[in-house]
Amino acid sequence: MFWLNTKRIIRTGLLSFWRNGFVSLSSILVVTVTLFTIIVIIFTNVVLESVLADMRSKVDVNVYFVVSAPEPQILAMKDSLNKLAEVSSVKYVSREQALQEFKDKHKDDYLTIQGLDELGDNPLGARLNIVAKDPSQYEGIVKTIEDKNALVAPDQSIIDKVNYQQNKVVIDRLSEIIIGAKQLGFLLALVLMIISVLITFNTIRLVIYMSREEIAVMRLVGASSTYVRGPFIVGGMIYGVISAALAMFLFWPIAIWLARATTDFFGGVNLYTYYIQNFFQIFFIVLMAGIFLGAVSSFLAVRKYLKV
């Protein structure tokens, strides 16, 4: 009996979907807009994360060592810092590399280069470029560096200076931007989702309103709430499936169009490549959202007309 009723509900839902073609098309378009909004939110978050990651990578802390600092002690400190969970990467720049970078940077400054040649010796010490996984973790890393310095060179400090205090304003500002951007993104996504759900719910409720007399007759002849509600839920799920496929298809040319712009302007993320590589994951999310949205909206909208 259960399977018989289930088959009848599905068949009735399919027949109702095709019979009310124009109304079904209107519902599909509204749900498509809702799901398209979800896709836009997903890709906006991808672009935002890419921009923030690019900003993080450009902020670092440099540890400058004294000229007499032994290289083995510097490399020992580098290895110990690499083991920290907060550290993303540590780059060692030798004295020779530091000198060459200085010359390249001031190659057009004749007086500076001449003065450097007259010294006859390399006045620059080695350094470590440290990039944290999160800008807010730099203060703790700097404290760890001071502790490491005491362990590696207990007799005298091999560190000349750490430029954390010079970069602290930039690091703090970046941390605020990252937190603010994430909060704003979440708030906008939440507002858009609520608006989209309300529009979808009202559209499907209008579809069910047109069938209110049919629902009333079915209730009067003894049809159960599940049997009455079932075809509308099936119809709502069909709206979700078709709308998910349509929303993914509509975003495809947009991803192609935005690919070059996002690659050049937003720090390397290619929306089209991301779209292709994560197509099935994104489609699954959108499909589940569409089915859930259509089914729940139909379930809630038909409830009003079950009271006879």
The mean pLDDT values, 10 residues at a time, for the chain of 308 residues are: 57 60 71 83 78 71 83 85 85 84 74 68 83 79 73 65 71 71 74 72 71 68 67 79 90 83 66 87 90 79 64
Predicted local distance difference test score (pLDDT) of residue 73:
83
Q: Which helix (H) or strand (E) holds 293?
A: helix 279-303
CA 17 to chain centre: 36
Per-residue tokens: 259: 């690919």
Contact predicate 255/275, CB 8 Å: yes
Distances (CA, A) of 4 to 10, 126, 227, 239: 10, 79, 11, 24
Contact predicate 167/131, CB 8 Å: no
Predicted local distance difference test score (pLDDT) of residue 2:
52
Q: Which helix (H) or strand (E) holds 127?
A: strand 127-132
Between CA 255 and CA 261 the distance in angstroms is: 10
Between CA 95 and CA 158 the distance in angstroms is: 14
- Give CA angle at 52 (50, 53), nearest 5°: 65
Between CA 142 and CA 164 the distance in angstroms is: 7
Domains of the chain: 2-55+175-306 (no CATH), 67-157 (3.30.70.3040)
Between CA 76 and CA 178 the distance in angstroms is: 33
Between CA 308 and CA 306 the distance in angstroms is: 6
Rounded to a whole number of angstroms, the CA Rg of the chain reads 31
Predicted local distance difference test score (pLDDT) of residue 284:
93
